[in-house]
Chains A and B, each alone.
Chain A
Amino acid sequence: MSKVPSDLKYTRTHEWLRTLPDGIVEVGITDHAQHSLGDLVFVEVPEAGRTVTPGEPFAVVESVKAASDVYAPLSGEVTEGNGALAGAPETLNTDPYGAGWLARLRPSGALPALLSAAEYEKLTAEESD
């Protein structure tokens, strides 16, 4: 059973969001997502200063078998990409909600509608049926 921390928000495309005290939003992929992908061997994160819109591919994660886009969950500007992942993509497997964060974003307006932990859990349960 994959972990779904209750203090985070989620998207239908398996990203998680954590709002930091200064209003910056940290984004990563969920435990369910890393488990479905398998061993990750390549990660490409966005550069600081890039502006993104919801649903835009802004990062790439590749496992041995396949490449997947990660989608920006909000409108805003990238303040930081997690450069440490380039040399240690396995961090996404071992600590998806912590050291495996992909990027930090400064939202340009209100956050779009997102899923609660309970709603995301329900979504993944339906997907694995």
Chain B
Amino acid sequence: MARRTPLFAIHQSAGARIVDFGGWDMPLQYGSLLAEHHAVRRAAGLFDVSHMCVVDLQGEGVRPFLLKLFANDVGKLTVPGKALYGCLLNERAGVIDDLIVYYLGEQWFRVVVNAGTRDKDLAWIRRHAEPYGLTVRERTDLAMLAVQGPEARARLAALLPPPLAERALALGAFFGAELGRWFIARTGYTGEDGFEVMVPAEDAEALWRSLVAAGVQPCGLGARDTLRLEAGMNLYGNDMDETTNPLESGLAWTVAMTTPRAFIGREALEAARARGLEHKLTGLVLEERGVLRSHQRVLAPGIGEGQITSGTFSPTLERSIALARIPIAAPDQVQVEVRGKLLAARVVKPPFVRHGKSLVG
């Protein structure tokens, strides 16, 4: 039996097409996926992301614990409310999951991990937390909504009492704050400005209805995927997993190795770097008609081949784009095998779209 978020009944009554995602019954789309996508790029869209797993880590040892467990450096988190994106690595430097860490206090960090990896993440965290004497609490009492798009912050702020609205609008990028009963963060997975809001489960339905009444478009997982891919953001399980390290997954920027900090996976990463990386994760833009899909072969003649890890039609660019893992020496022009034909694609550095604008020419 799949799990359901506190907003499931709303999705069902809105006529959403429901699919299984990481063990959850989630809305794929409410009507037109393209319309949902464009609403986020042009105005504001609303996503139920309550399937994501919120875990509070509390105790005196929480910072040393994260310095060891998290491949990015929580030493960068000095101002309360600041968030940091990065990976949990295993000893072989394979990616166990990608996550956001919020610094809420010297004895309180909050992490948000993927739904499909919840069980193994919690097991990994609990196992390593034991010597640090931490309290590890999964916040199943919270629902999470993402409000994304150029008008998203104003639409959400309009629902808050004026003093809280002012504080919400003052949040810098990648900062969050507890405002009344809600935790509001200026984060997201779309390449647009916006908020992710954690609220007590019993508040979720009223908040959802208020935002929809304010003209914010409900969006499903379909648009979430096209938006994140245009924004050049990885999806765990597609673009990286335990068999790939962050350096060959476009995530080198999330691994902090300039200080001597001993984090899990560091030795394996250094060894991989010393051996020389063979692959890189990069963007592709299809130069012909067709649609790139995950697992299609990418050919760099004379050099080698790779594979698409995520592909889609880009509603903003009106052509197909992809993330692909290809030989590090691949040239700027490659071929992709699409349904038995070789089509020309251009290698580009993601993101493809940022704040509604094409970045790939």
Contact = CB atoms under 8 A, between A and B. Distances in A.
A99 to B, nearest CB: 19
Contact of B291 (A38, A39, A62, A86): A62
A39 B34 contact: yes
Given A60-B339, A62-B291, A65-B222, A42 B313 contact: yes
Interface string B137-151: 000000000000000
A41 interface: yes
Given A38-B222, A42-B313, A64 B34 contact: yes
A48 interface: no
Contacts of B312: 64-65
Given A38-B32, A42-B291, A67 B226 contact: no
Interface string A1-32: 00000000000000000000000000000000
- Main secondary structure, interface of A, reads strand
A86 B290 CA distance: 10
Nearest to B35: A39
A86 B289 CA distance: 9
Contacts of B157: none
A108 B315 CA distance: 41
Interface residues of A, number: 11
Interface string A38-78: 11011000000000000000001011110100000000000
Which 9 residue pairs are nearest across A and B when measured between Cβ atoms? A41-B313, A39-B34, A62-B291, A64-B33, A64-B313, A42-B291, A39-B33, A39-B32, A38-B33
Given A38-B32, A39-B34, 13 more contacts: A38-B222, A39-B32, A39-B33, A41-B291, A42-B290, A62-B291, A64-B33, A64-B222, A64-B226, A64-B313, A65-B222, A67-B339, A86-B289
23 contacts: A38-B29, A38-B32, A38-B33, A39-B32, A39-B33, A39-B34, A41-B291, A41-B313, A42-B289, A42-B290, A42-B313, A60-B339, A62-B291, A62-B313, A64-B34, A64-B222, A64-B312, A64-B313, A64-B315, A65-B28, A65-B222, A67-B291, A86-B289
